[in-house]
Chains A and B, each alone.
Chain A
Amino acid sequence: MINDLITALGAEFVQLSLTPIVIGILAAIACALPGNFLLLRRQALIGDAISHVVLPGIVAAFLVTGTITAVPMMLGAGAAAIVAVVMIEIVKRLGRVEPGAAMGLVFTTLFAAGVLFLEITDTSSVHIDVQHALLGNLESLIWFDAEGWGSLIDPAALATLPPQLPRLAIVLVVIALFIFLFWKELKISTFDAAFAEAVGIRTRTLGFALVVATAIAAVAAFDAVGSIIVIAMFVCPPASARLMTNQLGQQVGWSVIFATISAILGYVFAGYGPGWFGSPYAVSAAGMIATISGLILMLTCLFGPQRKRIGQQAET
């Protein structure tokens, strides 16, 4: 048994599974952090909308630059996210419709445009397709040059890490810094926007900054893991965390824990789970991570200590 474990965590593990797991964890946490505030502001579906418009942004960036490199793609996707937010605002004002309908209108239209662009233009030479956009390619982010745990301190091997890993790490640091530095402002404006306004916090700017942080997280994570995880991680870990505690700080902590568990268990079940049933094939890691986060939410819905609304009768 112990030998099995050692083999399981040996050189092959470092080469094939370590980087995808770490990338999955980074992506999950980067999305869960802003997700906490979106959830409390009842904007949980902004994450949904943004992750849909990342596709047209990437396609547009490809059409403009003609290459598929990370920086223009991320800029394109970020621009698309901002365009979407502005469009939602316009539709809401002009049509005087509820935010949900405005959102649904904008993101489906942009997504449809993205798919159509993808089909019309010749993108067969490059690796972007709808499937990839939805699922990501977590399984393929392996670390070729790793020879074992020792590679972690070998600069030459470290230089060959999948570029998504350092990129996501930087994004995670940026988002964590944003939330850390503006903690008080975010907290006040989330719970009592009118009071925040009165004490001089620029709630609109802050709200927009939060959306931008969301977009950055979505875009960086999208590149590595696809949009399913992105949407699931924006909503599920913060929602589970919300049912655990009444303290915002603890909620953020719980959401990080849940996101990490989802990423690790999801990847392990997807990669090794079918083997336990005698199947030689792996299943989608992105889908499995989303599924695990849903199971965690299910458990917290049933047993979370703070699952009730204040004043709601305890039911059995």
Chain B
Amino acid sequence: MSFLDYFISALFLQAGYNSALVAVGAGLLGLSAGSAGAFIFLRKRALVSDAISHATLPGVGLAFMIMVAFGSDGRWLPGLIIGSAVSSAIGLVMVEWITRKTRLTEDAAIGAVLSVFFGFGIVLLTIIQTMSSGRQAGLENFLLGSTAGMLISEAMTIAIAGALAAGFVFLLRRPMTLVAFDPDYAATTGVNVRNIDLAMMGLALIVTVIGLKIVGLILIVALLIIPPVAARFWTNQVGPMIGIAAGVGGLSGYIGAVLSAAEASLPTGPIIVLVAFGFFLISALFSPLRGGLASWLRHQRFQRRVHRRQGLLSLARREPIYDGLTIRILRRAGMIRADGVATTRGRIAAEKAARDEARWAMARRILPDDSAIERYDGLTPIERMMTPDQIAEIDHMIQTAQGAKA
């Protein structure tokens, strides 16, 4: 079976029960990561989750050592997850404590906690390596994630925990939105900002520890950050943004897990991250709201409107046009002939543009505080912004002014 065949069959969950379970588990993980990450992103604390995820390592090591000391083989996933949750919670509290009690800023606290905890975790891993050689095999997989040889019970644990985290996000969505956008207002309405902040980071923590096995602790933070950044391109509203972030995260997890199942030697974490980055690229380029392509098109359209307007005003003033783009635009619209002389259509349009310009000039003088004046972009016809009787009054003023001049 070729890679592609396998990929397609795995995509539709036809490639065996185990890989289907892993894919669904990774999808649920991505779903909860994307939605939890959306709030952390809006709260502008994306990298706190980086500290949380690196801080899991000592917990994994210690949990393993404790379990071995009690005679088990030490690789029982729930045990490792509990250990990692405890140590990353300590890391999170340390970040908070350093930021609150000392003059150090949050980014310094994040950098310190993530490097020190990670370093200490590595020390523990080297101890484990000497402790019971062979038996520990697999703890390194928590760095980059691996789904090869995953047990069904493990996949179930991840899937259930992912669903629980997503449920938590749903329950807490209102206070979290409030705190993310305006913590001061949230505080005055009686929301305990500190608790909600902790809950937000607690969600990141849950996602991190259940993602350890699949994505690995170095890259899990990507699953919390990239989906909301991608989602932000598509909408300006919180509800849809969380939905899109959850969707992007879920798809990234699902597709990534399927891809890595099809090519067993590849580590799962990096593939999931790169799939998520693919979604980011698509969003950054093609979103109609803020994507690169859309803003380029908007810019082009605006440029053409400016050139057309300026060209018509030049025609009205009987000035020659030299700008190549202006000439091309007017030619294509049938406003001028090849030799640059205005056609009948062109003369009518030019006259209208000149009249519009004169009306706007007068409107600025007599209605300087009108909201239409403030929103005027130099291109919109006045009929679209003002009522007919306002325009009639403006015309009257123009005539009076001309009469006075004559």
Contact = CB atoms under 8 A, between A and B. Distances in A.
Most buried by B among A104, A309, A310, A315: A104
B130 interface: yes
B303 interface: no
Interface in A262-294: 270, 274, 279, 281-284, 286-291, 293-294
Nearest to A35: B111
A134 B270 contact: no
Given A111-B218, A308-B102, A44 B107 contact: yes
B123 A284 contact: yes
B98 A301 contact: yes
B103 to A, nearest CB: 4
B102 A48 contact: no
Contacts of A308: 102-103
Given A100-B47, A101-B225, A297-B116, A234 B111 contact: yes
Interface residues of A, number: 67
A103 B45 CA distance: 12
B219 A111 contact: yes
B120 A116 contact: no
Contacts, number: 207
A39 B130 CA distance: 37
Contacts of B116: 232, 236, 290-291, 293-294, 297
Contact of A301 (B101, B107, B225): B101
A115 B270 contact: yes
Contacts of A293: 115-116
Most buried by B among A44, A103, A115, A293: A115
B266 A291 contact: no
B229 A112 contact: no
Contacts of A286: 119, 122
Contacts of A243: 102-104
Interface stretch (A91-99, A196-204, A215-223): A91-99
A100 B46 contact: yes
Interface string B228-240: 1100110000000
Contacts of B105: 42, 44
A96 B130 CA distance: 48
Interface stretch (B2-10, B160-168, B273-281): B273-281
Given A113-B270, A228-B115, A287-B123, A108 B110 contact: no
A168 interface: no
Contacts of A279: 130
A281 B130 contact: yes
B25 interface: no
Given A95-B233, A108-B222, A111-B218, A103 B119 contact: no
Interface string B194-222: 00000000000000000000000011011
A24 to B, nearest CB: 13
Contacts of B290: 95-96
B222 A105 contact: yes
B118 interface: yes
B108 A44 contact: yes
Contacts of B126: 281-284, 287
A212 interface: no
A291 B274 contact: no
A47 B111 contact: yes
Nearest to B275: A112
A72 to B, nearest CB: 23
A109 B44 CA distance: 19
Interface of A: 39, 42-45, 47-48, 91, 94-98, 100-105, 108-109, 111-113, 115-116, 119-120, 130-131, 134-135, 228-229, 231-232, 234-236, 239, 242-243, 270, 274, 279, 281-284, 286-291, 293-294, 297, 301, 304, 306-310, 312, 315
Given A113-B270, A232-B112, A239-B108, 12 more contacts: A42-B107, A91-B284, A96-B232, A108-B218, A116-B267, A242-B103, A243-B103, A284-B126, A291-B116, A301-B97, A301-B102, A307-B102
19 contacts: A91-B284, A95-B229, A96-B232, A104-B225, A105-B225, A105-B226, A109-B222, A116-B267, A116-B271, A120-B266, A228-B118, A231-B118, A232-B115, A239-B108, A287-B120, A287-B125, A290-B115, A290-B116, A312-B103
